Structure 1
Amino acid sequence: MTINGEVRYLWRAVDHEGEVFEAVVTMRRDRKAALKFLRKLTRRYGRTRKIVTDRLPSYGAALNGLGARDLQSPGCWFNIRVENSHPPLRRRERAMLRFRRMRSLQTFAAVHASVSNHFNKERSLSDRNIFKLNRAAALEQWRQLGAA
């Protein structure tokens, strides 16, 4: 992402259902940034059985540092869940006329992920009536949170 003409990197962790666990903005996309991101994830969510990444070498170096290189599954088509979580964020970014600071991008990405996780349920896994009931329940919960 570009902030004031400078490139910044948005790291996102997504589970197998498309829920965003974590979103972190960094200035670089190197081993140190990847290691920091992966350590934060393992502290918060524990170790995982499999880590799907793209073929960026810094992921492998960071996973070597954690002793989890055997968990990595790099590949061209394996990280579709992560790639499909970008467009909604990009649409909101465009509507907001971009970001001016890294901190505002970080805050927005975290809030957007939690709201998106709350409302976007897997529609293809249930029929329309159940989907509508779940969506209405999520909206009611959201309204109660806003009223408190």
Structure 2
Amino acid sequence: MLTRKALLIPAAASAGLLIVLAVAGWGGDSGPLTLPASSGPNTSTTQQVSIVPTPEIAEITVKTSTSTTTTTTTTTTTRKPPPPPVQPPPPPPVTTTEPPQRGLFVNEGARCDPEGATGIGLRGEALVCRKDDRRADRLRWQKA
């Protein structure tokens, strides 16, 4: 059976260790917090403002006021120059190739209208609507 004295020694050692750890952990770099003393309602406080430059033009106004005093600080920053405009790609080169032959598919020797119209024969040859001497000057499709 354990005596009271045997239980009291480890408990006291544990409590002492906790106190040492608490003081070492909280007291290393922090000091006591103190509030500035206030001498009355008509006091003015000065604040330091750090301004980070922004890429846009900005006018920043900071007002600190108490019941009777107002402090105003105005700062203007400038904008970075805009990036150079993007150049559009050059237009594709213009080629002067002859477009594919398109038109009306016609039968050679068939009637046509008006004179001078063009068409394409069944074999892909170009045909023109002209007067045919052998058929009483009627308009017919003929090879160009």
TM above 0.5, yes or no, is no
Between Structure 1 and Structure 2, the one with more strand by share is 2
Work out which structure has the larger RCO, using CA pairs closer than 8 Å and 6 or more positions apart in sequence: 1
Q: Give the TM bin, normalised by the shorter chain.
A: under 0.3
TM-score relative to the length of structure 1: 0.16
Largest Rg, 1 or 2: 2
Between Structure 1 and Structure 2, the one with more helix by share is 1
